[in-house]
Structure 1
């Protein structure tokens, strides 16, 4: 697996699983009806922020991540990131590789920590992955997320020092 900078030419490969994940409404806080053009602008970030893709030997996009500062000004030293792995390609370590890549990027870019603002509590695979890589749950917003089948569930704020 290779992780490289995403380009505009990658968007047609990202969009189908991006749309599937967002429309499912169980892991992201994005609008369920987010359109292709608006989604592209939200996901493909300009420098100094980054968007990357994980690709296999054939060049197939397996997943993607976007990385940026969490806030501006005097809080610009805290990074954040979001991840999407094509559901048809899960279980191959793509998510772990993308998070590890983000940790390396953030460290090299001079960030002091990473904060995830909205990790859905029922997204147990993501929570377990993040915790295995040193993230801790700082707090949970009770009923902070309306899950399509489980109703109102907690929304974690997760953190890791670099």
Structure 2
């Protein structure tokens, strides 16, 4: 498996993976699905979009962009998505590690996650194992697909 910058030929597979996570309704704040036009615009607008390719198939991706502007523009934010049929193979870990390096390469000083859902134990354990620190807990900060609210846990990692 390799992790590389996305190419336009990857877009449909990327959109499918992204929409799968949005449809799950338990990790991404977005509720709208991407189509070919909005997906192209969305992924092009990022500071960096990386994909995990395995035997010619996209199995995961990440987006990296500033978390804020101006005096806080040195802090970046990222989101990760792994195809459901490729989970459990540590692809997410490889994406996060690649993202940490890419963020530093792009001149960011901190990677911050604003809204990690408290019940997303696998992601939280991964982030903590990789040295991310939890900033606290925001009660009821995420509305799940079924309508109930769960706590979110912001994390950060110095680059």
User: Residue 69 of structure 1 is aligned with which of 62, 66, 71?
Assistant: 66
Length-normalised TM-score, structure 2: 0.92
Q: Does 1:53 align with 2:51?
A: yes
Q: State the 1:149 CA deviation.
A: 4.8
Structure 1 gap ranges (5+): none
Give me the whole-angstrom Cα distance separating, in 1, the residues matched to 2:20 and 2:92. Answer: 17
2:81–2:92 CA contact under 8 A, matched in 1: yes
- TM-score, normalised to structure 1, is 0.90
Residue in structure 1 matched with residue 112 of structure 2 by the alignment: 115
Task: Number of aligned residue pairs: give it.
Answer: 158
Show the counterpart of 1:81: 78
- C-alpha distance in 1 between matches for 2:111 and 2:78: 8
Which residues in structure 2 correspond to 1:90-109 (within 5 Å)?
Answer: 90-109=87-106
Which ranges in structure 2 are unaligned for 5 or more consecutive residues? none
SS at match of 2:62: strand
Residue 156, structure 1, aligned to residue 153, structure 2: yes
Deviation of residue 41 (structure 1)?
A: 2.6
2-side partners of 1:117 and 1:9: how far apart?
30
Measured on the aligned residues, the alpha-carbon RMSD in Å equals 1.6
Question: Residue 16 of structure 2 aligns with which residue?
Answer: 16
Shift of 1:39: 4.0
* Ranges of 4+ aligned residues in structure 1 off by more than 6 Å: none
What is the distance in 2 between the residues matched to 1:150 and 1:30? 14
